[in-house]
Structure formats: C-alpha cells, structure tokens
C-alpha cells in the first residue's frame, strides 16, 4: 500500500532536518544534495534536497553555500544574488577548487553518513525543529507532482 500524501507538517520537519544537516557541515568542507538526501533516507532525493535548499529562509543561518553537486559544481550559485558570490563564500572558508572551477571533492567532501557517528546523525535528525518553517505552495506542488519526488502522487493514487 502506498504512503499517504506528504503533509505540510511532514515537509516542514523534513526541511528542518535538511537545514540541521547543512549546519553540521564543517567550515572548509562541502556536502552534496545526494549525501543529505541519503542521510535522511532518500538515496535518490538529491533533486528534492535542491528544492528544499531553494526554500531556505533568509537569515536562517543555514550555510547553503556548502551544498554543491556530486561533481563539485556550484549548481545553486544563482541563489546568492550575484555571479561568483557562492564561490567567494566557499573560498573564504578555505574550500579548495580544481583548475576547472569545481570544488575539489577529494579534499573537501563531507558526508553525514560517513563523517558522523550513527548516534550523532540520529540526534541531529531527531532534534531538528520545524518551528517557524512554512513550506511554500510551490514546494508542496513539486513534492506531489514532480516525477523525481519520492512523494509523488500518481493518477492511480489520486483516484
């Protein structure tokens, strides 16, 4: 039997868990959308994590610059207001880059499943507070409708 549709409350909790993991990424390192998704039980959830990161509230003290693609590309750089800003923030933290302009993932990658103990990871996830997080209608639509969403509602489930 399929899971019931995801609720706003559950999405707010998921968002809080994503932000808690991103806050745990150490200065000088980066994590990936896929690593965050996998740590939360969604091994194919990289795109979903990107949607959630796009919803990061202004002033939420989430170091969003530390989340990059698996190849070290600065895929979310447009969200930082000006060209090159995401890279500037990462360089100021000591994140190394390759000559091709990507983050040097061999030197800077942080994966919560590898770099936190199971108890630390569990505590971070369970301790994330969804207070004052309000998922947008757009995020809810993506989670319900996009083929890449682990919460997609199919036509059969709608009937």
DSSP code per residue over 22-34: HHHSPTT-BEEHH
What are the beta bridge partners of residue 67?
31
Distance in angstroms (rounded) separating the CA atoms of residues 46 and 41: 11
Q: How many domains does the chain have?
A: 1
In a domain, 1, yes or no: no
Q: Is 93 a domain residue?
A: yes
pLDDT tens, N- to C-terminus, the chain (159 residues):
455 678 999 999 999 999 999 999 999 999 999 999 999 999 999 999 999 999 998 878 999 999 999 999 998 777 888 889 999 999 999 999 999 999 999 999 999 999 999 999 999 999 999 988 999 999 999 999 999 899 987 755 554
28 is a domain residue = yes
In sequence order, the 6+-apart residues with CB closer than 8 A to the CB of 67 are 22, 25, 30, 31, 32, 33, 36, 49, 53, 76
Domain of 42: which CATH number?
A: 1.10.10.10
Q: Does residue 144 belong to any structural domain of this protein?
A: yes
Q: How many CB atoms lie within 10 A of CB 145?
A: 12
Angle at which helix 46-54 crosses helix 137-145, to 10 degrees, equals 170
d(CA 34, CA 50): 9
Structural domain including 120 reads: 8-158
Looking at residue 58, its pLDDT comes to 80
């Amino acid at each position: 039997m399929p899971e019931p549709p995801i609720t706003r409350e559950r999405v707010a909790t998921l968002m809080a868990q994503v932000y808690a993991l991103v806050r745990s990424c150490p200065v000088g390192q980066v994590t990936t959308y896929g690593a965050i998704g996998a740590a939360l039980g969604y091994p194919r959830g990289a795109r979903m994590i990107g949607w959630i990161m796009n919803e990061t509230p202004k002033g939420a003290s989430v170091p969003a610059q530390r989340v990059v693609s698996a190849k070290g590309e600065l895929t979310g750089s447009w969200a930082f207001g000006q060209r090159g800003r995401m890279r500037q923030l990462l360089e100021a933290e000591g994140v190394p880059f390759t000559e091709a302009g990507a983050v040097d993932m061999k030197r800077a990658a942080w994966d919560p499943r590898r770099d936190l103990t199971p108890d630390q990871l569990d505590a971070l996830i369970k301790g994330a507070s969804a207070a004052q997080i309000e998922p947008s209608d757009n995020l809810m639509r993506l989670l319900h409708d996009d083929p890449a969403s682990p919460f997609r509602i199919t036509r059969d489930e709608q009937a």
